[in-house]
Structure 1
Amino acid sequence: MLRSIFAGLFAIVLTLGLGISSVSAKTVEVKLGTDAGMLAFEPSTVTISAGDTVKFVNNKLAPHNAVFDGHEELSHADLAF
């Protein structure tokens, strides 16, 4: 019986611990084209951690694309503007 209680408490602590780590992940938004209409990323640099997400948003002018050197699986060079 004591073993079952301990296993249940361990499962709860583990679940809470995993939930806390996913809450700390953040989403960083990068505009493709500045608010002033320049052909640049805004912000020009970002700092992310493992588990974070980068969200690219088309801003000014026509649609843009991000190309990742060395990671062709993440890039769509044929869609670059």
Structure 2
Amino acid sequence: MRLDKFLKVSRIIKRRTVANEACDAGRVTVNGKVAKASLDVKVGDMIEIMFGTKNVKVEVLDLQDTSKKEEAKELFRYI
């Protein structure tokens, strides 16, 4: 699954275009490397996102094409 789509489906970032822009700006890393929006995310990957002064680090637990609000929390876990 594409990185920008995972960020939207898991509701870490609300909109796919915003996720795309964050990736283009170099604020998203996967497994310690700056990632583009088209990167293929796999279960077990570590994603770190820099939101201004706040850093969010998560581990990918599951991949789904769509998810409900309640199910979105099960796709990742905060580190």
TM over 0.5: no
Bigger share in strand: 2
TM-score, normalising length: structure 2: 0.25
Bigger share in helix: 1
Higher relative CO (CA 8 A, sep ≥ 6), structure 1 or 2? Answer: 2
- The structure whose Rg is larger is 1
TM-score, normalising length: structure 1: 0.25
